[in-house]
Amino acid sequence: MKKLSVFQVAYKSLLRKKTRSLLTILGIAMAAWVLVSLFGFNRGYEASLNKDIDNLGFQMLVVAKGCPYEAATLMLKGGTGLKYMNEDIAASVAAEPEVEGVTPMLMQVVFDPNKGQTGGLAAFLGVDPVSFPKMKSALPFKAGGWFKGPEAAEAVFGYEVAELEQREVGDLYLIPEKEVEVKVVGILERTGTQDDGTIFLPIKTVQKVFGVRELTSIGIKVKKDADMKTFEDKLYKLPDVQVVSLSQVKTTIMTLVSTARVMVLSIAVIAVLIAMMGVINTVLMSVMERRQEIGILKSMGAMASDVFKLVWLETIVLCVCGGLIGTGLAMVTARVTDVLVRRLLPYSPSGGLVAIDGGLVLMTLGVVTAIGLAAGVYPSWKAARMRPLDTIRSEMES
């Protein structure tokens, strides 16, 4: 003869009010969804940002003295109000023992009247044809490749600028204001970084075309075992330069993002609390409706601890089901969340913004189970301390 387990009894009790149980489960599912998406975003954003920074190919950037935010903007978005530094600085930096490699860069921005309906800025980045491709080896090409020579009249277009200008490999491009033609030799894949909107030229070509002999920035790849802090202090001793380390940039961006994250976390906490109240309400109503049944269970030998366990299990079943549905929804809709969040953020890294893994799913299920355990205490205690006679009599008198 089979025996009903307490779990089976709890499960079948929940089936009695299917709609109510389902709505409670959905409430928990929503809270779990928000939790998973939020923590998934937190992980995904940071991982993608790190990846983007790694893809930059260098860990430090030396720029002429100016505002650090401007420097960060220069690196990530391109910019105006450029400041210059002497070309010799690149050699001085390269001589430091911590340095694995340097790549000098010269950015120039001109007004292109043919860009868009009212014209716009065109950004040109002069790069060294040898050191830059080596440092940025992760840059993917959609077509073509890097320039052939150090002073070649050739250009590599970022993905967006190639789309906007409708250029393909082999096309000619006239640099606005300078009336100099360069040949498009490569088009990059979309990277989601400032590279998408940049036209790369050999640095000597940019210097020649724009008549500038100086540099706007120097990318530095540091040796793996180098002490970054000591090296950074050393660089500050160079005249009229400032150092932007990518960890600094990352911190700046993460600080901006964390403000939004705190707000979303507050909403998530509220959602969890509302779900918890919903669970307490549902289970308490269920307990009050089943007073007679609980009385009968006690008259047939159920101890207070048995009744407590039964009601507690019902709560946990509700929460675990909600948690599973919520995490499932979060996984299924991660892509949509990614697109929506990307629209809201001022800067989004190129990789996936929402990263959900097994650890996160387990953590969320742990959280909702803990909510279930906490939410179930009061209704379970209330049920456990019911006296059988009171509950049976209340029904007989009603």
Partner 1 sequence: MNATARYSIEAEHLRRVYRRGPEEIAAVDDVSLRVEKGSFTSIVGPSGSGKTTLVNVLGCLDNPSSGKLTLGDRVVFENCKGLSESKLTLIRRDVFGYIFQKFFLIPTLTVLENVILPFTFYKKPGAEEDVGRLLKALGLDKRIDHLPGQLSGGEMQRVAIARALVNKPDILLADEPTGNLDSARSEEIGRTLQELNARDGLTIVLVTHNLRLAALAERTIELHDGKIAAA
Nearest distance, CB of residue 309 and partner 1, angstroms: 10
Tell me which of 303, 336, 339, 370 binds partner 1, using CB under 8 A: 303
Environment class of 140 (CB within 10 Å of its CB; exposed 0-12, middle 13-18, buried 19+): exposed
Please give the full DSSP string across 128-159, using - where no structure is assigned: -TTHHHHHTTTPPEEEE-S-SSTT-SEEEE-H
| CB contact at 8 A, 63 and 71 | yes
How many angstroms separate the Cα of 9 from the Cα of each of 98, 146, 293, 305, 331?
Answer: 69, 70, 12, 15, 32
Tell me which of 96, 171, 306, 328 binds partner 1, using CB under 8 A: 306
What pairs with residue 219 in β-bridges? 61, 103
Tell me which of 239, 301, 346, 358 binds partner 1, using CB under 8 A: 301
Nearest distance, CB of residue 306 and partner 1, angstroms: 5
Question: Contact between 299 and partner 1 (CB under 8 A)?
Answer: yes
Per CB under 8 A, contacts with partner 1 among 6-35 are 6, 9, 12-13, 15-16
Per CB under 8 A, contacts with partner 1 among 368-397 are 387-389, 392, 395-396
| CB contact at 8 A, 184 and 173 | yes
Nearest distance, CB of residue 260 and partner 1, angstroms: 46
- For 167, phi then psi, to 5°, come to -110, 150
Q: Which two tokens stand for residue 49?
A: 């940002």
Binding mask 336-375 for partner 1 (x = CB under 8 A): ----------------------------------------
Nearest distance, CB of residue 297 and partner 1, angstroms: 7
Angle between helices 291-299 and 246-289 (to 10 degrees): 70
Per CB under 8 A, contacts with partner 1 among 259-298 are 292-293, 295-298
The rounded distance, in Å, linking the Cα atoms of 175 and 90 is 27
Nearest distance, CB of residue 289 and partner 1, angstroms: 12
Contact residues toward partner 1 (CB under 8 A) are: 1-6, 9, 12-13, 15-16, 292-293, 295-304, 306, 387-389, 392, 395-396
